[in-house]
Amino acid sequence: MTTATHPAQAQYALFLQRGLKLDMSRGKPSPEQLDLSNDLLDALPGFSAADGADARNDGLGVGLPEARALFGSLLDVPSAQVVVDSSASLSLMHDVIVFALLNGVPGGQPWVGQQSVFLCPVPGYDRHFSICEARGIKMINVPLNDDGPDMEVVERLVANDASIKGMWCVPKYSNPSGAVYSDQVVRRLAAMQTAAPDFRLMWDDAYRFHHLTDEHVRVAEVIGACARAGNPDRAIVFASTSKVSWAGSGIAALASSPANIAWWTRHAGIRSIGPDKINQLRHVRLLKDSATVEALMMRHAALLKPKFDAVLAQFGAHLGDVPGVSWTVPKGGYFIDLITPPGAARKTIALAREAGITLTPAGAAYPYGVDPDDSHIRIAPSFPSLPEITQAAEGIALALKVAVAG
Amino acid sequence: MTTATHPAQAQYALFLQRGLKLDMSRGKPSPEQLDLSNDLLDALPGFSAADGADARNDGLGVGLPEARALFGSLLDVPSAQVVVDSSASLSLMHDVIVFALLNGVPGGQPWVGQQSVFLCPVPGYDRHFSICEARGIKMINVPLNDDGPDMEVVERLVANDASIKGMWCVPKYSNPSGAVYSDQVVRRLAAMQTAAPDFRLMWDDAYRFHHLTDEHVRVAEVIGACARAGNPDRAIVFASTSKVSWAGSGIAALASSPANIAWWTRHAGIRSIGPDKINQLRHVRLLKDSATVEALMMRHAALLKPKFDAVLAQFGAHLGDVPGVSWTVPKGGYFIDLITPPGAARKTIALAREAGITLTPAGAAYPYGVDPDDSHIRIAPSFPSLPEITQAAEGIALALKVAVAG
């Protein structure tokens, strides 16, 4: 005698027998992607910077001139408004918030003595939210649409509440939904009236070069937009080579108004005598210019695209007819957002885990780890091999079917 | 007709005609010292860490196992109690203070909500004091003797004032005086009663391997001393390769109790997904073990010692008979402390500047840049060439003679 089971449960039970073991919790590049930058291992011909400085020694807190020029051209910003650091952009964001908390940004008092709140378009990047939570900044969710944050909501909130000091923005191929900010959204963010005079847009341009299709989406340049709108110090732009060269050994840049750059340089100079300029030399040699970066990113895309396609194909095959289930089809970036019926994300992730697939925890894309609808699952296809990711996507789909059936 | 001048003024006037131009304001290593580590430029044979991790990717916030083992052996601390980071030790110190301000250390509340004070043995390192000043920690001077801080003063202050949260310590070849903490001072620092339960020793072991004589001074290991005295979480030790390999591209370590290491790892993990582990691989390959580091440091000493000797010879020749003038004769480290009669340091530095010699500003070795007696001049012989430093020392000596004569 057997108990009658839902067909999805039978499929899931069969999948369990494969004994898969796969960690898909983070958007790490694959070894094959890292191999694309192995020329970083080559010996440098020397250690003199363009201005003659000895890149081995202390100093040059703003970064090497040639590294600033490279990021200036990549970000469409004058190189005088760019500083290049050795660490990852996440660290630069963290330190901007620390300096703002303890010292205040230009035109403001230290945030730490006041109630300080950030707007968080959701779903969003968990590490942004962790910085706020760990350092005592309150977070308010705002809806993220396909063309950026819901500007009606944003404008109303910032106009009336002086405790709202900032907002996280991933303007292109956003993590995890793949949203791309429209020109109109950028204009409105640049121009909106804020009750706080020291309001800042934390503009994490993490996926600026990370296209997955031939359509290389462009987002309006925000620093100039803010300046034209009379809010020159509003935007602080972050970028890095983390998913261009080597995730753990890249270089990162911060770009902003002259006043913000002077402020950053002063405060970062308390923390450090200067960045790792040898690694900047290595990167300038590898990445050269915009065209070289673009060509490298197409090689990344060639490795990534089949993995995204495999996930989308599995989802289409298994989930196409499941009511209330949908997913994003990003034009770039590192993630797919799998949207479940309300209340099914946590259960799906638990079932996937039983099948050997570790996913980003449910709720991670929301402040405080709380997805109010329990309906978002972040899929990170980059690290596993193509056969692995294909199996994993199938397993996730089956887990979701069981979750909604049960 | 000529105006009669003091002989020192005549000598100084002659010196002015040499038209020297020399920046001695910072203790940077010379190009010849940096050359000692040029093997860092060599191609690495690969990028796999001892545990098989891909050193190019994200992760391993505590550092590579082999880098932790290296620093564990260098610092006489179990490697589980060491984290290795990519940046300089100054940044680790800064971040400890930031995390303490915003989050509190184990056993304490955030320092930012309270009056927070650090004891500063003087003369000391200006960048330590800048961190406190910039981030809002009040500083109190305590006298630094040849064997460490005046413990009568320290013990009385910390026992009675719960706002005293920490103390800067450079235990060996201290900057700028070359003081070395005696075993008794280490024991008393480890065991003293502090009114603040969350008091911390910021133990900057910056010159641990930086001997100038054959006497390789040893200082008692402080983490164990604190544990034995019942204060296991009191000391946080910082070290780096900044003046071992390349000043701007080294690796740094933080060592402490298991509770402090867990605390650090949690908070540093909010800021960064992991350090530059490729540079850790490079350093492990270059520095290997204690014996290799010791041999490398002897080559540094061979370059540095003649420069220190040249300064001491000039001071002896020109200042030996000037009342109220003395100087330290360090057994290691990067500095000589030239002690002038009260009120003469600032004037000497100004006169040296007129002769083309830029020195560290007067007062820099004191909190808030205020040397109450205006009597300390930090001499940094490392960067200039031997002929340059010989001339500079003569110029400084002549400037001081003019300052005290006039």
Q: Which of A136, A247, A277 sits opposite B58 (nearest CB)?
A: A247
- Mean pLDDT across B16-37: 92
Residue A42's pLDDT is what? 81
Is any Cβ of chain A less than 8 angstroms from the Cβ of B155? no
- Closest by alpha carbon to B237, among B203, B199, B261, B268? B203
A/B interface, count of CB pairs below 8 Å:
158
Q: Shortest Cα distance from B372 to chain A (angstroms)?
A: 24
- Asked whether the beta carbons of residue B249 and residue A279 sit closer than 8 angstroms, the reply is yes
End-to-end CA distance of chain A: 21
Task: Strands of B137-258 (E only): list them.
Answer: 138-145, 148-149, 164-169, 200-204, 235-240, 252-255
B77-109: buried (b, 16+ CB within 10 Å) or exposed (e) per residue? bebebbbbbbbbbbbbbbbbbbbbbbbbbeebe
Name the average pLDDT for chain A: 95
CA distance linking residue B111 with residue B97, whole number of Å = 9
Contact: B134, A270; criterion CB under 8 Å: yes
Chain A residue nearest residue B40, CA to CA:
A43
Low-confidence ranges of chain A (pLDDT < 50): 1-2
Which A positions 171-200 lie with beta carbon below 8 A of chain B? none
Distance from the A286 Cα atom to the nearest Cα atom in chain B, whole angstroms = 15
DSSP string, A170-183: --SS-TTT-----H
CB contact under 8 A, B43 and A41: yes
| Closest residue in A to B45 (Cα–Cα) | A41
| pTM for this entry | 0.96
pLDDT on residue B44: 82
Let me know if A207 is exposed, middle or buried by CB neighbors in 10 A (0-12, 13-18, 19+): buried
pLDDT value at position B4?
52
Q: Mutation test of the interface with chain A: which of B241, B276, B283, choosing the one with the most A Cβ atoms within 10 A?
A: B276
Cβ(A361)–Cβ(A284) under 8 Å? no
- In the prediction, which pLDDT does A41 show? 84
Residue among A377, A369, A375 nearest A342 (CA): A375
Q: What angle do CA B205, B262, A239 make, to 5 degrees?
A: 85
Going by the DSSP 8-state scheme, the letter that residue B340 receives in this structure is P
pLDDT in tens, B345-356: 999 999 999 999
* CB proximity A294 to B under 8 Å: no
pLDDT for A1: 39
Radius of gyration of chain A (CA): 22
pLDDT confidence bin for B192, thresholds 50/70/90:
very high
Q: What is the pLDDT of residue A3?
A: 54
Token pair listed for B302: 């061979």
8 A C-beta contact, residue A253 and residue A287:
no
Closest by Cβ to A102, choosing from B135, B274, B276: B135
What distances in angstroms separate CA A54 from CA B30, B41, B248, one per listed residue? 10, 14, 10
pLDDT digits (tens, 9 = 90+) for A32-66: 999 999 988 887 888 899 888 999 998 889 999 99
Query: A44: how many CB neighbours lie within 10 A of its CB?
Result: 16
Query: Which chain A residue has the Cα nearest residue B270?
Result: A131
User: pLDDT (tens digit, 9 = 90+) per residue, B196-235?
Assistant: 999 999 999 999 999 999 999 999 999 999 999 999 999 9
Is B1 part of the contact surface with chain A (CB cutoff 8 Å)?
no
Interchain proximity B86–A90, CB inside 8 Å: no
Whole-angstrom Cα distance, residue B24 to residue B381? Answer: 7
The answer to whether B356 and B15 have CB atoms below 8 angstroms apart is: no
Band (pLDDT 50/70/90 cuts) for residue B60 is confident
Residue of B nearest to A383 (CA): B57
Half-sphere exposure (CA, 13 Å, Cβ side) for B90? 22
Question: Whole-angstrom distance between the N-terminal and C-terminal Cα of chain B?
Answer: 22
CB contact under 8 A, A34 and B55: no
Q: What share of chain B is helix, strand, coil (3-state, %, to 5)?
A: 45, 15, 40
**Predicted confidence (pLDDT) per residue in B278-322, tens digit:** 999 999 999 999 999 999 999 999 999 999 999 999 999 999 999
Chain B contact for A88 (CB, 8 A cutoff): yes
- Substitution target from A238, A271, A285 for chain B, most B beta carbons within 10 A: A271
Comparing alpha-carbon positions, the chain B residue that sits nearest to A275 is B248
Rounded Cα distance between A100 and A109, Å, is 8
Nearest C-alpha of chain B: how many angstroms from A398? 30
Tokens of A341: 């019926």
Q: Decide if A28 touches B, using CB distance below 8 A.
A: yes
- Structure confidence at residue A333 (pLDDT): 97
Do the Cβ atoms of A247 and B90 come within 8 Å?
Answer: no
**CA dist A105 → A101, A164, A196, A235, A267 (Å):** 8, 14, 12, 12, 10
Q: Which residues of B touch A271 (CB under 8 A)?
A: 90-91, 94-95, 131
| Cis peptide leading into residue A176 (ω within 30°) | yes
Read off the pLDDT of residues B363-392 as tens digits, 9 standing for 90 and up: 999 999 999 999 999 999 999 999 999 999
List chain A residues with CB under 8 Å of B34. 47, 54, 56-57
A202 strand-pairing partners: A168, A236
Taking residue A46's Cβ as centre, other Cβ atoms within 10 Å add up to: 11
B1 band by pLDDT with thresholds 50, 70 and 90: very low
| DSSP β-bridge partners for residue B327 | B338
pLDDT band at B59 (very low <50, low <70, confident <90, very high): confident
Does residue B146 sit at the A interface (CB-CB below 8 Å)? no
